[in-house]
């Protein structure tokens, strides 16, 4: 049995994978983390405690954006000496294996601390330095993997019957961080989009179900991947997708989603981990409809509220929590959970559990409650 927990961290990604092998042993992985406003601990740590984890097979940071690594240090600290491996975006072997270069990489984050008044950036940059120290001193540089490639197998300990493949980034991004920190301006002057270009996208395959965890990989990288895989005569054909880049149009064009979802007869589960206000883009929701992806958003999209009133003006506002959600104006400071935390359970069949089972217009579920 494989379960993937997609945690509601507002804007950002946070996933925990639990694998129960046939002999009943449990193995855990963490992919990205964020800490929502008002919380001190990462939700990923909370759920690992709830699940009774005492060892982590792997932690992965898909790319070095704040909304993907906040809280990772606390997880590393809690499970110190009980983490088998660390996976990351490409960082370049010259940095990992050279103490001076690793220090230079950390200095880039020290520069960020000195170059801002933002408490968030200061604390996140400090956390990133601590993560590097934790890898170096406790997990071990030899257990740090930063693979690239279009279909590159990785083997986290204990996940024996689960196939993990790095789909992105491609190898052309391998030297980005290395080159940047060697340059005069350093990493801080790099366009931020570069971080998405080096984002890991992962295929998790278990019992013939394919789940794509899209990271923040941009459209152009998915198209490159399509070119590669089509030459092999293969397709992705996902059963479920963590949509790239929180449902941004930069990562969820129609072409990208068509490629990732393939042409399955069954509807594909599409998890959108976003605050609902800045993301997802409305085009993404429409692209989901075009590609037979059923969207499951952690937070209610601001695009849904006016539309639902337009489509169903006579809906009884007291009918359900869902409808009341649509009565509220959504802003960055007033975010409403839609599905909340989402769990994919994968065995012979694939199923989805949600913290809030709110209905969705774009999954065609409102028809049943219209008066």
Partner 1 sequence: MAFFENTASDLGTGTHLFATDETLETYSSGENFPKNGFHIEPTAIQETVTQTNRGALRIAFEAPVFPDAAPPRPSRKDSVDGAVLKIGDVSVLCEVYTSLGEKRISLPRPLFPGSLWKGWTFSMRIREEMGYRGLEIIFREPKPLTIEEENELQSLMDCF
For residue 290, state whether it binds partner 1 (rule: CB under 8 A): no
Closest CA to 69 of 32, 122, 105: 32
Binders of partner 1 in range 43-102 (CB under 8 A)? 65-67, 99, 102
Smallest gap from residue 329 Cβ to partner 1 (A): 8
**3, 148, 278, 320: which one contacts partner 1 (CB under 8 A)?**
278
String of contacts with partner 1 for each residue 326-355, x by CB under 8 A: -----xxx----------------------
Nearer Cβ to partner 1, position 88 or 125? 125
- Confirm if 44 and 33 have CB atoms less than 8 A apart: yes
- Residue whose CB is less far from partner 1, 277 or 323: 277
39 binds partner 1 (CB under 8 A): no
Q: Which stretch binds partner 1 (CB under 8 A): 25-33, 72-80, 131-139, 363-371?
A: 131-139
Shortest distance in whole angstroms from residue 30 CB to partner 1: 20
Exactly one of 93, 136, 209, 309 binds partner 1 (CB under 8 A); that residue is 136
Nearer to partner 1, 114 or 231 (CB): 114
State which residue, 27 or 70, has the beta carbon closest to partner 1. Answer: 70
How many CB atoms are closer than 10 A to CB 26? 16
Beta bridge partners of 88: 61
Q: Is 296 helix (H, G, I), strand (E, B) or coil?
A: strand
Q: Is residue 220 near partner 1 by the rule CB under 8 A?
A: no
239 is an interface residue for partner 1 by CB under 8 A: no
3-class DSSP assignment, residue 314: coil
Tell me if 126 contacts partner 1 by CB under 8 A.
yes
Question: Residue 117 and residue 9: Cα distance in Å, rounded?
Answer: 24
Dist CA 83 CA 106 (whole Å):
22
User: Which residue, 38, 82, 32, 34, is CA-closest to 62?
Assistant: 32
Q: In whole angstroms, give the CA distance from residue 149 to residue 29.
A: 21
Residue 192 interacts with partner 1 (CB under 8 A)? yes
| CA nearest to 61, candidates 144, 139, 137, 136 | 144
Kindly state the helix (H) or strand (E) to which residue 240 belongs, with its residue range: strand 240-242
Smaller CB separation from partner 1, 182 or 292:
182
Number of chain positions touching partner 1 (CB under 8 A): 42
Query: From the list 129, 325, 342, 350, which residue makes contact with partner 1 (rule: CB under 8 A)?
Result: 129
- Which of 60, 232, 261, 265 lies closest to 143 in space, CA to CA? 60
Q: From the centroid of its chain, how far is CA 322?
A: 25
CA angle 94, 99, 100 (to 5 degrees): 85
- Does residue 38 touch partner 1 according to CB under 8 A? no
What the block records as the tokens of 201 is 């996208």
How far is CA 151 from its chain centroid? 18
| In the complex, least distance from residue 105 CB atom to partner 1, rounded to whole angstroms | 9
Establish if 35 lies at the interface with partner 1 (CB under 8 A): no
Contacts of 100 (CB under 8 A, 6+ apart): none
Chain residues in the site for partner 1 (CB under 8 A): 11-12, 37, 65-67, 99, 102-103, 106-107, 110, 112-118, 120-122, 126, 129-130, 132-133, 136-137, 188-189, 191-193, 246, 275, 277-279, 331-333
């Amino acid at each position: 049995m494989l379960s993937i927990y997609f945690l509601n961290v507002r804007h950002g990604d946070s996933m925990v994978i639990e694998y129960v092998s046939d002999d009943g042993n449990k193995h855990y992985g963490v992919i990205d983390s964020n800490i929502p406003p008002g919380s001190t601990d990462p939700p990923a740590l909370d759920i690992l405690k709830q699940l009774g984890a005492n060892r982590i097979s792997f932690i992965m940071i898909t790319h070095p954006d704040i909304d993907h690594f906040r809280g990772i240090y606390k997880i590393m600290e809690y499970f110190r000496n009980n983490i088998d491996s660390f996976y990351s975006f490409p960082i370049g072997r010259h940095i990992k294996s050279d103490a001076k270069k690793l220090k230079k990489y950390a200095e880039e984050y020290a520069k960020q601390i000195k170059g801002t008044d933002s408490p968030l950036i200061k604390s996140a940059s400090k956390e990133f330095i601590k993560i590097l120290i934790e890898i170096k001193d406790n997990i071990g540089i030899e257990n740090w993997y930063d693979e690239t490639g279009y279909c590159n197998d990785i083997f986290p300990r204990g996940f024996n019957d689960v196939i993990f493949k790095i789909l992105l980034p491609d190898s052309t991004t391998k030297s980005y961080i290395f080159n940047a920190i060697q340059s005069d301006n350093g990493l801080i002057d790099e366009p931020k989009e570069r971080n998405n270009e080096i984002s890991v996208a992962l295929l998790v395959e278990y019992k013939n179900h394919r789940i794509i965890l899209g990271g923040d990989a941009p459209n152009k990288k998915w198209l490159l991947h399509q070119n590669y895989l089509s030459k092999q005569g293969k397709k992705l054909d996902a059963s479920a997708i963590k949509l790239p880049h929180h449902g941004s149009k930069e990562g969820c064009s129609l072409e990208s989603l068509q490629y990732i979802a393939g042409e399955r007869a069954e509807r594909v589960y599409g998890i959108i981990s976003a605050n609902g206000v800045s993301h997802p883009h409305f085009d993404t929701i429409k692209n989901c409809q075009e590609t037979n992806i059923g969207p499951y958003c952690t937070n209610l999209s601001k695009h849904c509220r006016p539309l639902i009133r337009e489509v169903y003006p006579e809906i009884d506002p007291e009918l359900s929590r869902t409808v009341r959600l649509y009565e509220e104006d959504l802003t960055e400071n007033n975010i409403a959970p839609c599905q909340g935390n989402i769990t994919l359970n994968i065995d012979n069949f694939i199923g989805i559990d949600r913290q809030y089972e709110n209905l969705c217009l774009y999954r065609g579920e409102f028809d049943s409650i219209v008066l």
